[in-house]
Structure 1
Amino acid sequence: MSVNEISLRLAQETDAWVLSAIHIAAIKALPATFYTQEELLAWRNYRDKPDGLNILKSMKVETFWVAIEQNVVIGFASFIVDELIGLYVHPKYQGKGIGRVLVEHFCDEATDQGVNKVITTASLYAEGFYLRLGFTAIQKSPHYLRNGVVVPVIKMSKTLGTCN
């Protein structure tokens, strides 16, 4: 598989359970190096099986784009105008440029809306990934998961037009 074989499209409500499954799989694949097993479990909403209800709620306010290879959804990004909210790629497809393509698409969408600077809240695992894409770390801060668990994250920003 190459990035050239990947297509992007707007997510549909029928994708919600697949996106939930990707979210869970991506977090389950992380080692407990930056976060404890309890924090990782909370991050995936204590789920081992997909439940698209949270995704469906988020779809009401966030824009979701999915990455597809051979008619299979393999990753997604969600954002609101200038803020990248979520970025997840199924572990089987990680390290192949899919996350980069999704972030570049988010930046292009923001540029099209006249935005010149974007932000994201990156997990400690993803900091290096975003730095390689031209983001700058702003500060480490607490992030409150929906279930009340607090995890450390890195607030990051990128001035658009600097590199893709």
Structure 2
Amino acid sequence: MSANEIYLRPAQETDAWALSAIHITAIKALPATFYTEKELLAWRNYREKPDGSNILKSMKVENFWVAVKGDIITGFASFIIDELIGLYVHPHYQGQGIGRALVQHFCNEAAAQDIDKVITTASLYAEGFYLRLGFTAIKKVPHQLRRQIFVPVTKMSKLLNQ
């Protein structure tokens, strides 16, 4: 495998800090076009610095997969059976097919369990990305962040094995 190749592997507990760093960095890189600065701050759990504790809690119930380039974790996805819960790629590595590979892996895992449709809740920033991957927008819904802050998101679905 070359240093520029991306590969996917299950996340390990020791990855939690890096996943938290990617989560924070990816949200910090977003412009305040769809959501306000206050909403973006709530989305990253009011953190300026990585803290893997929330991710470690989520690892107990969600499947986490990481994308690795060389020895650097570049992105991750978390899912439960037929629902993609989270997808984040470090801004430095966006546009290189990492998010696409993670979503495809999620879809393959679901299809292997004879699931014919998957769902996700996309931020307004990510809606176009999912549409390009064959997802269909179902409806806009409110999503609760910390401290009773609600933001609009899009429920989306994709039929598998077509």
1:96, distance to aligned residue in structure 2 (A) = 1.0
State how far apart, in whole Å, the 2-side matches of 1:98 and 1:61 are: 23
Q: Which amino acid aligns with 1:53?
A: S
Provide the rounded CA distance (Å) in 2 between the counterparts of 1:151 and 1:13: 30
**Residue 161 of structure 1: CA displacement?**
1.9
Which residue is 1:36 aligned to? 36
% identical equivalent positions:
76
Give the 3-state SS of the residue equivalent to 1:134 in structure 2.
coil
Q: Which amino acid aligns with 1:76?
A: F
Structure 2: any 5+ residue segments left out of the alignment? none
Task: State the TM-score, normalized to the length of structure 2.
Answer: 0.96
Corresponding residue for residue 21 of structure 2:
21
Q: Which residue of 2 aligns with 1:101?
A: 101
Report how many residues are paired: 160
What is the aligned partner in structure 1 of residue 133 from structure 2?
A: 133
What amino acid does structure 1 have at the position aligned with 2:123?
S
1:10-159, aligned counterparts within 5 Å? 10-159=10-159
1:118 shift after superposition? 0.1
Calculate the TM-score normalised by the size of structure 1: 0.95
- The SS at the match of 1:21 is helix
Contact 1:139 1:155 in 2 (8 A): yes
**1:64-110 Cα shifts (integer Å, max 9, x gaps):** 00000001100000000000000000000001110000000000000
Matched residue of 1:139: which SS? strand
Whole-angstrom distance in 2 between the partners of 1:84 and 1:15: 19
How many angstroms apart in 2 are the aligned matches of 1:97 and 1:145?
Answer: 28
Q: CA RMSD in A?
A: 1.2
Q: CA deviation at 1:146?
A: 4.1
Q: Tell me the CA shift for residue 147 of structure 1.
A: 3.8
Letter in structure 1 aligned against 2:140: K
TM-superposed deviation, 1:114: 1.1
2:5 is aligned to 5
Residue 145 of structure 1, CA deviation: 1.6
> After alignment, is 44-53 or 145-154 more displaced?
145-154
- Within 1, Cα distance between the matches of 2:115 and 2:146? 28
